[in-house]
Each structure stands twice: as structure tokens, then as C-alpha cells.
Amino acid sequence: MNFQAIDLFTLLPELVVLITACTVLIADLYLPKEERDNNQLITFAGLAAALAAVGVVGLSFGSEPTLAFGGAFIRDPMSDLLKGAVLVVTLLAFAYSARYMREREMWVGEFHVLVLFALLGIMVMISANGFLTMYLGLELLALCLYALVAFNRDSGAGAEAAMKYFVLGALGSGMLLYGVSMIYGATGAIGFEAVAAAVAADGMDNKILVFGLVFVLIGIAFKFGAVPFHMWIPDVYQGAPAPVALFLSSAPKVAAFAMAARILVDALPALSADWSEILIILSVLSMGIGNVVAIAQSNIKRMLGYSTISHVGFIFLGLLAGSSEGYAAAMFYAVAYALMAAGAFGVLVMISHQGFEAENLDDLKGLGERDPWLAAMMTMVMFSMAGVPPLVGFMAKLLVLQAIIDIGLVWLALVAVAFSIVGAFYYLRVVKMIYFDKPEIDAPVDGTRDARIAVSINGLSMLVLGMFPAALLSLCQAAFVA
């Protein structure tokens, strides 16, 4: 591998995030306690610069894929869009988090650093062009998330959730790595292009390759939180601090989609008929169990956790279609879901205050009286998750359903619609509590400027993307041009 200066330019967004994280780490050593808001300013500036760097790199190289570091790293239209999405979601997460973390004396540089390094891991995963690079990005993300879930040292639930996440995460990573090792043994390669060529030659005749595929799919399903590898999601969402749950529910789902697309679409397209059958089972189980169990939840964090599981089933529907339209629909859904999850948890963060954690459904009662604008944004999020037009959730579901109908799986589309109707019950229940129930608490709502701007952008973006989806959809389609 010959190093070239152009490789660093290809990695410019990742370098900006890395420099920002290191700057915050060093600055926090010297900033007095009363000036720690400067960490937020540095982080905002760094994320904005990284977002600009994604645009500059994308415009410089155009739609042609660009390889760096001997083919281990790839920049293409898919990576540009997904990096832009996770950077926007991370900006929203920091904007929501300030008052919450400050009141609980967790507003320290380590929080910014861990989130930024997790973001760096996500960006590496998005641009991975080989199993080794993918695994390095995945582990960087996972290690940061383990620490973030247990960030509140005084929370026993947080420590328990982090321990569960660590143990199950290590198991999932081990399964994935074992599958990768078997694929390497069968093909003699770890680069996605080389693996794809070897798999196309051998196909399913190589039994080692079959076992490798199964274990890799288990690893992907765990990182998504698909049934039956889902049990960590409700516990982790409930135990983690609300800003951490916000980040955990949104940005890593985009990374999981990138991992699935890179491995299944780039490395194993010749086996699409085989992994599609497995994804059908995972998607039906995820939509069914996710929506049905969510109805029984009284804790809204757990409800949103099971909701996540059901949405993962829809993302799998797009992937299993095995067509460029299906992949684009799944990508559209992943980006839309990241925005919806950020908005839902963002409202919970804003409702919470010192000594009070908004995590039960009853805590949302009467929000329409207490804060009409915030109630409207939460309602928009719930309607979007339920798939009510003209919000982006409706368009995301419609695109995925169209993709599987096009390949003749009408029965699967009907199953998905049925479970969507089941899911609409618990989303509409939240809206009913917001507007038709009397408030049980008279707690203050976060009125900081950053949080208000973030929730407004978050909510209105779902309306705009739902009414005018062509721009985002065309970008998703450009990523999977045949």
C-alpha cells in the first residue's frame, strides 16, 4: 500500500471530527468549571466544519467512488449522505443535552469526547471497504457507547444497563468476527470487492461460506436490535441517561444500515437469494414482537425501544428486496428513523429536569397545556412513526412496501401493513395523553434557545421531507445506481 496525500483529503470529515474530539479533551483540562460551555461551542464548530468537509469532499470527487489507503476506505454517494445524516443528528443531540447534563453535574468534557469518538467510529463504519476496517469502526463505536450508557455514576439502572450492553455486545461482536473469519477462510480476502469476486465464483457450494454468512447476519441483526437479538434495546434505553438514549437510538442505526449495506450488498451480492430469506424471518419477527410488546409498556423509553425493533423490521424489508430501489428505500427509512428517534427522545430530554426524569407515559399527560409548541413537535414525531401522511414516516414505509411488492412479496407487504396498524395504537395513545389528559405534574420544560431551535428543526424537517421527499430520495437512489 502506497500512502498518498489525497488519501488524507478523502478522510477529511473523519479528521475534522478526530481533531475536534482531541481539542475538547485538551481544552477541558484547562477550562474552569464555570466555562465548560466552551466545550459545546468547540463541538458545534467542529461538527459544522465536518459537515462542510463532507460537502467539499463529495463535490470534489463527484459520484464516482474514491478509494483510500489501499482500498480499505471508500468515499461514495452513500457515505456522503449517511455521514451528513449522522452529523446532523449528533448536532441535534448536543443541542438537546445541555441543560439536562448540566443539572445532573454531567456536563463535562468526557461526554463530548465520548460522543465524538462514537461518531468517528460510525463514520469509519460508513466508509469501510473491508471487514477489518468495518470491525475497527464498530469496536470504536461500541466501546464509547458502553461508557456513555453508564455515564451517570449514581445510577444503578445505568450501570446495570451498561453491563448488559457490554456482555451482549461482546457476544454480538464475537459472532460477527467469527463469521468474518470463516468468510476469510473461504475466500482468502477481507476486502469487499475481492470477497464479492470469490463468492461469485464459489457460491453456496462452499459450506464454510454458508456458516460465515449466518454468523455475519447474526452480528448485523444484533447491532440493529432485530428479533431475536433485541433484548438489550429496552433495558439500555431505559437505563441510559436520556441524552445518551437519544444518540444511541438514532446515529448507530444509520451505522448499522451502512454495515448491512456494505457487507450484504457490496461483499455478498451473489448470495442475495440466501440472505434475503433470513432477512424475511428477522423482519417479520421484529415487526410483530416490536409492535405487540410496545403496547404493554408504561415506560416510554421502553416503548420507544420496542418501537425501534419494529422499525428495524421495515429497514430489513428494503434490504431483502435485493434491488437498487429496495436498497434506496431502506436507506431513506434509516435516515428518516434517525430523525424521528432524535425528536422523540429530544422531547423527553426537554421535559426532564433536576430531580425528575420523564420516562413514564403519564409524564406526557397535559403537555399540550404546559407547552403547546413542544406538544405539537412530539405529536408530529408520533404521527410520523405511525406512518401518517404527509410526514416522512409515511413516505419511508410506502417506499419500502413498494420495493417488496415489485418483487412479488405481496403477502409480506400485507403483514407489514397489519403490524403498522397495530403500532399506530401506542403512538396515538401518546398523542391522546398529550392533548386529552390532565397534567399530573407541573414541572418546568426546557426553554433554552438551543433546545427550542433543535426541536423545531427536528419536527419541521419530518414534515418537509414527507411533503417533498424527492431530494433525499434521489440522493439515496444515486447511492445504489446499478
Helices (H) and strands (E) in the chain, counts: 20, 2
Question: What does the pLDDT read at residue 3?
Answer: 64
Give the span between the Cα atoms of 112 and 118, in whole angstroms: 10
Q: pLDDT by residue for the chain (482 residues), tens digit each?
A: 566 777 788 889 999 999 999 999 998 888 887 777 788 899 999 999 999 999 998 888 888 888 888 888 888 899 999 999 999 999 999 999 888 888 888 878 889 999 999 999 999 999 998 899 999 999 999 999 999 998 888 888 888 999 999 998 888 889 999 999 998 888 888 888 888 888 887 666 677 888 888 899 998 888 888 888 888 889 999 888 889 999 999 889 999 899 999 998 888 888 888 888 889 999 999 999 999 998 988 889 899 999 999 999 999 999 888 888 989 999 999 999 999 999 999 988 888 877 777 888 888 888 888 888 888 999 999 999 998 888 998 999 999 999 999 988 899 999 999 999 998 999 999 999 988 888 777 766 766 788 888 889 988 899 999 999 998 899 888 888 75
CA-based nearest residue to 278, from 298, 263, 294: 263
Distance (Å) of CA 143 to CA 120, 162, 281, 387: 12, 11, 30, 34
Q: Taken in order 265, 268, 274, 280, is the CA torsion positive or negative? A: negative
**How many of the other CB atoms lie within 10 Å of CB of 33?**
8
Give the span between the Cα atoms of 256 and 142, in whole angstroms: 12
Question: Cell for 86?
Answer: 449522522
Element (H, E) at 14: helix 12-30
Distance (Å) of CA 123 to CA 82, 89, 93: 8, 13, 17
Element (H, E) at 209: helix 207-224
Alpha helices in 261-366 (DSSP H): 272-295, 300-320, 324-351
Question: What does the pLDDT read at residue 92?
Answer: 92
